[in-house]
Structure 1
Amino acid sequence: MDFKNHNDYDIFQRDIRYKQRYVHTGPVVEFLKALKTTLPERTRSLSKGNLLCRAQIGFAEENLDGESIIRGFSEQRMKPNRDYCGEGRANPRGIPYLYLSNDLDTCMAELRPQRAEMLSVAQFEIQRNLKIVDCFSTKQEFWNVELIFNPPTTQEGIRNAIWWQINQAFSRPVSRGDTSSSYIPTQVLVEFFLDNGLDGVCFKSGLGKGLNFVLFDLAAADLINCGVYSVDSVNYEFSECANRYFRKSN
């Protein structure tokens, strides 16, 4: 089954957020059927023994011979707990998944820490061979203006556009203005991937150069070490996204 056009993802996410959430509308059902046909070409292997990393704000302290020593959090603290698990880009409240990255700086940047904050940063080792959904590998990147004025017409181009939009939905940094409904489309996609026998999802980070991974089974990776890092600086880069007239000051 093929997608109808590049707008199918937008229709899916709007219906999920604003129409029917738990009993899907016809367009949502059709979108997921078409998406399923593309999963075999999007599935990648994450082999046992691979190392990924995860950061959390804060650190642990212990007293050693009268001296206070800081150390990274334990595995119990570095893995999410269902009793304290809030809404996430991939998980609903109370259903924890393990968020990891293949890049040390990226996993710390994802927290958007403040300068001088201390972070616990752990390495996790993959415990079994996993099947991961690759959201980021597309032959072409698309931007909203391009999709409006020069939309893809071939099925390959439409598939690329759909998966580009899915990657953008996962990688978009969480903002203070986000509500829980902002997460629902990606949460539905994750449950769809899980229901189709997949173990996790991988997408580009919106805050670093690395890739982010979400593993559905917390036991799929174990902590092997954890250290403490200090945030020395926070950098922002800016670029103009559209022509704009700025009035010169006198």
Structure 2
Amino acid sequence: MTDGKVNTLAALQELIEVVAKLRSPDGGCPWDLAQTPETLIPYVIEEAYEVVDAIKSKETEAIKEELGDLLLQVVLQTQIASESGQFALAEVAQGISQKLIRRHPHVFGDVSVASVDEVRQNWEQIKAAEKGESSPNNQKLSAKLSRYGRTLPPLMAAMKISQKAAAVGFEWENIDGVWDKFHEELGEFQQALAEETPERQQAELGDLLFAILQLARWYNLDPSAALQGTNQRFVQRLEKMEAVSDRPLSDYSLDELETLWQQAKAQIAKEL
């Protein structure tokens, strides 16, 4: 056990030193030196999604590699912060350890819990107290929903926001009302495309997407999984098209591409 801990600490220290060298003005990497916390945001998001994809694949090597890429983002962010005296990796690790201890009084203290729900309730109450907020049960709905909008991916945030709003009664009486809202938003989007500014068009597109998500919620469908499936099917069909093509797809006419598309679609349907 001791050797394992030493190896882990040594490996982490090596990573810290490698990243510090990459950021060193004396012989470091120009790309790494040019990065800021803000420019690295897309990579943090991308690496997190790639970890999720690897976990779903259940491939051990892929999971290990992608977790490493995500860990790099943590170390790189803390390296940049340490260069301006903000904080270091040790403070980040210590901070999360202390938070886990505080929020698990049933493990590290003398609190008793009878269910997972009680654990979750305690966590939220302790979290609110730490942030100087009122109990989650007493927080204004808008404050909760604002946090979802800031911190979650848009599709997930929209579903969370609509679910929480519906839970307090801000909801249609039946599915017909949801469909009416969808058609209303579709009409407003079409009108904006014909007559309004790009800003209004963007806003109406957002309203239309939000209405579609309400339909998904009422029919108990997962919009993120649905869109992910569509993305995968689109790529699969392109792969089939390229497999039977004797030249780049860009050299085909639109009618030829449509024919190849329909053939690929039919072939995939037979394979299911």
Structure of higher CA gyration radius = 2
TM range (shorter): under 0.3
The two structures have a TM-score, normalised by structure 1, of: 0.21
Which has more helix, going by share of residues?
Answer: 2
The two structures have a TM-score, normalised by structure 2, of: 0.19
Which has more strand, going by share of residues?
Answer: 1
Greater relative contact order: 1 or 2 (C-alpha under 8 angstroms, separation 6 or more)?
A: 1
